[in-house]
Amino acid sequence: MGFVGGGAGAFIGQAHRQAAGLDGHFELVCGAFSRDPQNNIETGAALGLSEARCYGDWQQLLERESALPAEQRMQLLVIVTPNHLHAPIAAEALRAGFHVFSEKPAALSLAELIELQAVVNSSGQLYGLAHTYLGYPMVWQARDMVRNGVIGKVRKVIVEYPQGWLSRDVAGEGNKQAEWRDRPEFSGPGGCIGDIGTHAFSLAEFVADQSIEQICVSLGMHIPGRQLDDDAAMLLKLASGASGVLIASQVCAGEENPLKLRIYGDKGGLEWRQEEPSSLIHRSLDQPLQILRSGIGQPWLCEAALQRMRLPAGHPEGYLEAMANLYNDFARAIRNHTSGHDAPGVPGINVGLRGMAFIEAAVANHRGDAKWTAITP
């Protein structure tokens, strides 16, 4: 694999490299890690790469890797840049014959993403998105229980993702991650809703196993001078007729990363918390509350959950392991690839389309007079 972005000081690039290396399926062979030449070379050297495979920019990386013999060149390009570069780099990498695994969102706009979808479809290469929370074993367990009617017909979905890191003007204090996220030309039309709201949205659709069709939205900006939303609350209408609530905020002072999903049917409910990912709470109308715990070999867990676990019960697995599950599924797809763009188990271009449609629908609803706005496609 090769990397664009993720130089020294960038959290998400390091997380991707650690996750990709966890099970030994990928070898890092090249990168264009930073626009800063010194950072780029130093990052590559720290990762054991020769200076010849540390390229000055992503265009040079694609050109020179394409010219290498097949047994030497990268097979997968990982994109961990600011949002505005996701689609352009992905499109050129796919055209050059490389598989792509990108940070989300997949593009800056739905129009740009539809263009990327055409490239994905015509390239014959695999394309995946880093919706890491969809790699957690107990998320797959929850989805399996919903699919099998354990909680009955879905009636209510409540998903919340509060963070506190933007409670101050950290961009004005020199935080580069906060700075580019608040600039529409780099981040897209959504701030908080694009950064973490899309995670909550995709988690809700994945576990409920159905689409969210309409939303009623209120967005907020709590720091003077901020250009994009830092707070969001919305009502949801799901395809089955169920209702829901989605809250995403980055100004909940003191919060860390407590993504939480609750889903209720006519027979019971499920609750999963990202900060306690090994547990899945099952509530029933006529039975005591149960807490299902992760761990290899647990006979009450579904196969999809079990195949995403590495350790016995009581040994916590977390964020890096969840991301590693996406990389494992991608590695399996590359080895078996003959045609098509989907890597089974990995969120793909269609998840990206749903996320971008969600962002644009949320912004439109907040700015407009309509009570409800449809999410299309």
Contact 157, 262 (CB under 8 A): yes
- Residue bearing tokens 């070379």: 41
Task: Retrieve residue 6's tokens.
Answer: 């993720």
Q: What is the mean pLDDT of residues 261-275?
A: 98
- Would you call 143 exposed, middle or buried from its count of C-beta atoms within 10 A (0-12, 13-18, 19+)? buried
Q: What pLDDT does 266 receive?
A: 97
Contact 99, 126 (CB under 8 A): yes
Output DSSP code: residue 28: -
For residue 228, is pLDDT > 90?
yes
List, in sequence order, every residue forming a beta bridge with 158; answer none if it has no partner. Answer: 245, 262
Q: What pLDDT does 248 receive?
A: 98
Q: What is the mean pLDDT of residues 178-193?
A: 96
pTM over 0.85: yes
CATH class belonging to 2-132+331-346: alpha beta
For the chain, give the percent of residues with pLDDT over 90: 98
Q: What pLDDT does 355 receive?
A: 97
For residue 182, is pLDDT > 90?
yes
- Which residues in the chain are classed under CATH 3.30.360.10? 137-313
Q: What pLDDT does 361 receive?
A: 98
Residue 273 banded pLDDT, cuts 50, 70, 90: very high
For the chain, give the percent of residues with pLDDT over 70: 100
Q: What pLDDT does 377 receive?
A: 84
- Which residues in the chain are classed under CATH 3.40.50.720? 2-132+331-346
Convert the pLDDT of each residue in 132-175 to its tens digit: 999 999 999 999 999 999 999 999 999 999 999 999 999 999 99
Looking only at the bridges linking them, the beta strands covering 268-273 and 99-102 are unpaired
Q: What pLDDT does 9 receive?
A: 85
For residue 86, is pLDDT > 90?
yes
CATH homologous superfamily of domain 137-313?
A: Dihydrodipicolinate Reductase; domain 2 (3.30.360.10)
Q: Which of 166, 12, 174 is nearest to 81 (CA)?
A: 12
What values do phi and psi take at 275, rounded to 5? -80, -10
Q: What is the mean pLDDT of residues 301-305?
A: 98
Looking only at the bridges linking them, the beta strands covering 2-5 and 30-32 are parallel
For residue 10, is pLDDT > 90?
no
Q: What pLDDT does 308 receive?
A: 98
Q: What is the mean pLDDT of residues 74-91?
A: 98
Mean pLDDT estimate for the chain: 97
Residue 240 banded pLDDT, cuts 50, 70, 90: very high
